[in-house]
Amino acid sequence: MNIIIKQEQEEDYKITEKVVKCAFANAEHSDENEHNLVCRLRNSNVFIPEFSLVAMDNDDNRIVGHILLTKIKINNEDQVVESLALAPVSVLPEYQNQGVGKLLITKALKKAKELKFNSIVVLGHPEYYPKFGFKKASIWGIKAPFEVSDEAFMAMELGENTLDKVSGFVEYPSVFFE
């Protein structure tokens, strides 16, 4: 297996959506609509093309995984802070547990630092994301705008103490809920 991570191009869109749909087909917490979410996010004003990455199996020249980071806000009564949400990340079932997700997440986090974002949040498997540096968002007083278990809602500083003075409710763009 020879995996490379690259920015998704317009000609990849349809294939990527199939990969996302397949990845979530048997996932535990899925509304089976994640591929439509990716499509809506790409068409929205929170879309940053550099943050839509695909994993290519170079041996077969096929897309086997995808990740998307999107702009969000963390709000309290004193301030509005820009941040990112990691959602969704997808790997084809036959490629799972071979490090493809790790490659996608590592590359996306690197990109987020390069583009000078200070933090990132994720709603996901509490056993998976801490290995990348995510911690419970509640440590910083960062809350989801919906009911979710404390362990599953996580955040990560992308620089030293960049969440030090940040707390409040995450505001996802409305396109997440359409």
Residues that bind ligand COA (CB under 6 A): 23-24, 27-28, 88-91, 96-102, 124-125, 127-128
Q: Cβ closer to ligand COA: 80 or 148?
A: 148
Compute the least distance from the CB of residue 141 to ligand COA, in Å: 22
Strands (E), 92-149: 119-123, 135-136, 142-143
Compute the least distance from the CB of residue 72 to ligand COA, in Å: 16
Compute the least distance from the CB of residue 144 to ligand COA, in Å: 13
Compute the least distance from the CB of residue 132 to ligand COA, in Å: 10
Compute the least distance from the CB of residue 96 to ligand COA, in Å: 3
Q: Cβ closer to ligand COA: 108 or 167?
A: 108
Q: Cβ closer to ligand COA: 48 or 124?
A: 124
Strands (E), 22-146: 52-57, 62-75, 80-91, 119-123, 135-136, 142-143
CA nearest to 122, candidates 111, 137, 112: 137
Q: Are 42 and 52 in contact (CB under 8 A)?
A: yes
Task: Report which residue's Cβ sits closest to ligand COA.
Answer: 101
CA distance 61 to 65: 12
Q: Would you tell me the crossing angle of helices 13-24 and 34-42 to the nearest 10 degrees?
A: 150
The structure tokens 């995984």 sit at 65
Q: Cβ closer to ligand COA: 152 or 175?
A: 152
Q: Cβ closer to ligand COA: 102 or 110?
A: 102
